Amino acid sequence: MVFVMKVLPGPVFKYEFMNHSASTHTGLGERAIGKSLEAVLPKEMALYLNQEYQRAIDIGTSITYEDSFFTPDGERFYSKTRVTPLHDESGICTHLAAVVKDVTIQKKAQEEVQTSSDLLFQNQQRYQSLFEYNLDAVLSIDTNGRIISKNLAVETITGYTDEDLIGENFYKYVIPREKPTAIKGFEQALKRKAKESQLTVYDKSGQEMNIIVKFTPIIMEGVTTGVFAIFKDVTLQKQYEEKLKYIALHDPLTDLPNRRHFDARLEYALDNLVHRQRHFALLMLDIDHFKEINDKLGHDAGDTVIKDFATKLSHCVSTTGTVARYGGDEFIILLELPADVKQPAIKLAELIYEKMQIPVHVHGKQIRITTSIGIAIASNKETTAKEILKQVDIALYKAKENGRNTYFFG
């Protein structure tokens, strides 16, 4: 598009000529010829062109600026304009020649690039915020297992700085027995199968800490370029769970395994009997005349007797046996040996009677405690828990019938 503007005192700029392209694209046509910018164009556009034209006159040479205009259909076009002042013989600017090039395609392409760039930058910022300020610790790991970067939570949780971690293999910090689990989780993630694992790792002070870690693949343009390891410290939770588990399986007064714990241990022994031919003996015991102790001296004294009795039993039972409080003043021992267990069971019963010779001190008094013991041997693979428990219970009853302070085989 070509425009020729006449420069009048003021200055005032009037249209003197426009080519066909200019007339068609702007929709001004012949009606604009001889008229000023203000008479033809919207106020803001006229003001802007006045400023640029004046600038060309002041400089005295060609200038270039970018502009936009609307077609008669209301479509916006972008343009790049070169304005050249034309002077008469005395050096006065009498006309301006404006050559306007349509740069709409280029401009819109630039805008799209800028928009995409802005979106990319925003997404990068969001990703960076998600990575850096995630409450969970996040490690970025390359396909060879080397740590590339970490977020702030890693240092907060473990104490490790960038200098400690960057470039190191991630499994260096996992305790040896759990490294295969860590490597398996990592390799699964590389195959685009996100994996969650519980691991024990070392913190910077060398202490073990329990974590739950999610291995998640990093995919760039369809290619797996690494793995995110996202983890949280669950050490306190793990300790709490272990404590709850311990409480659930132990007697609070004696700290011995309780009935629930013993029943599970008995099932394990029965499985060993079937598959490994490991015979075992059960010894069921109770404290002779325990009700009289409770009635005469009180429940506190009874608790003292129970705890002393449990301690003596624990000292008698070796690592091949399990002693548990089965309820009230009733205790049970499981003795598992690879060979015949009858003689070891008798030997254990005699040791228990020997230990019971030591009196227990209750409220400043010395009390001698005796016990009755029922013994049952499990050697038949068909034996069930119910059957062997019934057998040893009957044996205990027989020991009581025989005057107490003795043992009886069922």
Query: In terms of CATH, what superfamily is 250-409?
Result: Reverse transcriptase/Diguanylate cyclase domain (3.30.70.270)
Q: What's the length of the chain?
A: 410
Note the pLDDT tens digit of each residue in 204-221. Answer: 999 999 999 999 999 988
Residues spanned by CATH 3.30.70.270 within the chain? Answer: 250-409
Residue 350: phi and psi, rounded to 5, are: -65, -35
53-60 long-range contacts (CB < 8 A, ≥24 apart) are 53/5, 53/7, 53/11, 53/13, 53/83, 53/96, 54/11, 56/83, 56/84, 56/85, 56/96, 57/7, 57/11, 57/85, 57/93, 57/96, 60/85, 60/93
Q: Which fold is adopted by the domain 2-106?
A: Beta-Lactamase (3.30.450)
Is residue 372 within 8 A of residue 396, CB to CB? The reply is yes
Domain with CATH 3.30.450.20 in the chain: 2-106, 133-237
> Could you read off the pLDDT of 32-54 as tens digits, one per residue?
999 999 999 889 889 999 999 99
Buried b (16+ CB within 10 A) or exposed e, 138-152: bbbbeeebbbeebbe
pLDDT digit string (tens) for the chain, length 410 residues: 899 999 999 899 999 999 988 888 788 888 899 999 999 988 988 999 999 999 999 999 999 998 876 766 777 788 899 999 999 989 999 999 999 998 888 878 777 777 777 676 676 666 666 667 677 899 999 999 999 999 989 999 999 999 999 999 999 999 999 999 999 999 999 999 888 899 999 999 999 999 999 999 999 888 999 999 999 999 888 888 889 999 999 999 999 999 999 999 999 999 998 888 889 999 999 999 999 999 999 999 999 999 999 999 999 998 779 999 999 999 999 998 777 788 999 999 999 999 999 999 998 889 999 999 999 999 888 999 999 999 999 999 999 999 999 999 98
CATH 3.30.450.20 given to domain 133-237: yes
